Structure 1
């Protein structure tokens, strides 16, 4: 950024340089992604064709899990200047987006242009190349993946384990507890599966089990009588405790340390499980090879024999989280070895003899992903698999997920054969996946071109802002590097015109879109389609903030208007309760706008409950349409 390229923008150039320095400081010194993005976006608003700024925006959004946004910026950075960091960023973004063909092209280019001073090193990128190659050959089965919201939080949840033949489940979390064990370390929680859903988790309020420090559940025996517990930090120890099965709420007590050679002063151990017959113990430990491998030890009288490395199971990577099926014929575990599709994946192996196992193969996508999948377990008959993952779309870091799992089908599958990737030219991939699009903003009244319209484009349904642009003197807004075959939300604010909100699907056959704005009309209801509340609550969800910011922008641009916010429900439940809930939700939106600086004299809230339905309440789809928020201008 120099005056040579911006001769008429001296002051703005100076500000852009300062904003870039501030962004770099937030990112490199404090690792504050949100603050860094804020200042990088200021620079990008000054000039959107700076490769390094697009690269940094792509990098920050990748770290936040905003993959569509990261893809857009990373691709723009590549179009402007191809460097090793830009190639690596594009490879990682496409790997996480589960576009292995495109990821392989970028990994290949990185390896071809690699220099010894580059980071990451060549060996690591070759491993990632292998993961993407495995993904290319992986089958994407049509399993439904569900996040278990009642168990998850903004922190980490993992290790979901049923007590066999019961509806009680234990899991681990590092969320801060509100019980007497008020710590932010890992603790053990429990829940019950009742009426088709998991109840909210409760902390195991026992200081001998949840000690001061990390306490995580590792396994539960198939008899349901024994829980294996992990205590510690980098070098932990495994314990076992007896579960009282006579109580309605079955809790562990009388904890004891597992003996040597499972626990060893010189080696790290992080988790293990008894075999279904209780005669052997499988566990993950970092010993002579410098990685975590799976071992087993057997009882020999009152002692346990020296650990034996499991043949065929272990790879050059880490193997952790062993778990047995109910009858012990299948071993599940997590691995980040060469045959994963990225990060840790869940693998399974079939028993072929006494502590002998078949060559393991990974569970299909979408159970496994380019992110980490760990701590697998199942219900009693194996029809449901539970696991933890840090993939985007959850509440926090690691979340607990469930998926229907067809055990017979998986056992019939042959081990995966990795084939050579079929490369396409990078240009052809970009042509298929990226478009430069134009929006033509016109007045609906006379088709005149509208300049100065403020346009916000965001991904749908993720609700992540992708672009903020303004239409030029011809009413045209150009959008560079927009991902193809994706649905976006478009919000437009223009003085004297109603707030515009629309979903647009971008396809490869159309690069120009014409959008018409209505002049402000009194008492004309506009539905705010992206306003969401917690169930049976007036608490506004974070995913509503983009829509609310557009209402706020509308009110600031049209500084004289007075609006009425209207809340509606479907006809489920009591009429009076619905009326009260809709009023509270309308009040909540008004309160948000007042907190943002809008005068309360310009805002009126009114709840209508189940009145004035816009669809049939006999169907779930109709009910969803009737649960809505609207606003109208009542004074201009």
Structure 2
């Protein structure tokens, strides 16, 4: 029998399914037995991340813990390949020789259009050991051999997930990432980064709440149209542990998407499905643990011409220039990051909408205070009827931004106007309405492990809540503390109550009247995610508040 504890790393997938196809799934057990690529490809080890060469004649994938890997049975994953035989079948897989594989995790995330550049997950060290930096690398094909991978620059890249995955678009201009970063909503979220003319990459921008959930979004792939998104998730419902979904981009903010649709039982099963990939040709490739030979196996199934046709859901006038969407985003506090300052002015434009109703525009004040080079303030209001706004900021400078609107929870962030070849960049904001019953998860209110001692980084978010209550004196809130289900239920209940008491005490100390704040600890009795793994247990360890009076 197949184990379902698949460790996820890099992955890619692409298939364009119509609603008619999704509405008529086949019996997936027989499908997945038939779809397996067989023992020339699949083994009793963990196969991951299938990707075809540009000419479609070589299938690459990552194989974990194989004794022939660089690090032997403890190796996290080496790249293997199989050639397409003249009879149309895949030949016996071989491990890729050369500097591409080492004792760390190795995975291909894309090729250049001419097939002479191979993009790889992670950085490489010359001695083959662990690296101190994160990101992606590139190798060149010279005289039939792949060169030592050199790292690429991604502005402000940071990931704390053990299971990141990435994919570069077919045209080489867009990178999708599944990482846990500064503004992640839960576990792994999907982000987008854009290639600059100097071959560096822009700071990853979160794809927003229509795609990302408080669970895991993984193995993203962008279709050839740069509009159609495919990803695996356990946060949108489905048939099993992780299913593959499709969504389409509606504008160039990269935050407005169609509702993710499950690809149905012709692909998804009770097991884990990941890394869907549709190259040129008749077959789509993906990873499944259902009826497999080992942990994760590579499957394929035939795709019809009808399935390949995208539906016309997109306002193409909004997508006429992909180079105009090097979005500004939250800038982390990182040392030794120098952004070149210029006198060039960049137009920042976008939209402010209601987080609970994305069709409802919000009139908000956007105030940008220049952090470096003076205290200049630029302010603008978003339009009453459309929510759109525009402000001009200096390229290369950092700003502290506050977005506020009457009746809504304000949001603050630090942004940098990064170098871009376009005259404008776009950014959307979703404001949470201050309505009775609204619950806000204080994601950055954190404690020392197993204690009620607040970490220093918690105070910025707490101060924002205090400011909101000062500006809205009629609002009363209930603080709620939660833990996972590990350890003693009684101790968890006591710890969650202590944390609520600490948060309340801080807010009262800062001037909020005691009667406006109630609080209760619930221990591990109200999980919002599974407690089966650490990746999802940490989502249950949280402090939140609910508006109970306004």
Do both proteins adopt the same fold according to a TM-score greater than 0.5, normalized to the shorter chain?
Answer: no
TM range (shorter): 0.3 to 0.5
When the two structures are superposed, what TM-score results if normalisation uses the length of structure 1?
Answer: 0.39
Normalising by structure 2, report the TM-score.
Answer: 0.45
- Based on CA coordinates, which of the two structures has the bigger radius of gyration? 1
Q: Which protein has greater RCO, CA pairs closer than 8 Å, 6+ apart?
A: 2
Structure (1 or 2) with the greater helix fraction: 1
